Amino acid sequence: MPVKILIIDDSMVARMGLKNLLKRELMDLKLTEAADGPEGLTRFAEVRPHLTFLDLTMPVTGGTGDLAGIMAGIMEADPGAMVVALTPDTQHKTMEWAVSLGAKMVLIKPPSQEDISKALKELL
């Protein structure tokens, strides 16, 4: 049975990079992408991924939806959802914020192969 992974990130480049890293780790993989929060919630409900990668730097203006709302939507759909938050912000408070929203792990962007390997081992 393939591992289902959802990537929610408004950056095409970031999604591309993450897909490459994931494909090196998993042979049987079903990848779904979303370019904003609302699309991410729709895809989450459709796919019920084993693991979700969520970018924390998606715009808060411009109508892509607030991150707390997106996380709340994911947790409501599946309280046991495994979400890895991605952010280039290294502040401890940002990590705490992401965890308080429900993320099981926070990775600094761009994630390394080692980061992804660790996330998959710990969360799948």
Q: Which residues in this chain contact other proteins in the complex, by CB under 8 A?
A: 11-14, 16-17, 20, 56-62, 87-91, 93-94, 108-110
**Three-state DSSP class for 71?**
helix
CB of 2 or CB of 59, closer to other proteins: 59
C-alpha radius of gyration, the chain, whole number: 13
CB nearer to other proteins: give 80 or 90.
90
Q: How far is the CB of 66 from other proteins (least distance, A)?
A: 10
Shortest distance in whole angstroms from residue 53 CB to other proteins: 14
β-pair type (83-87, 51-55)? parallel
CA distance 1 to 89: 35
- Cα separation, 43 vs 6, in Å, equals 8
Q: At its nearest, how many Å lie between other proteins and the CB of residue 52?
A: 20
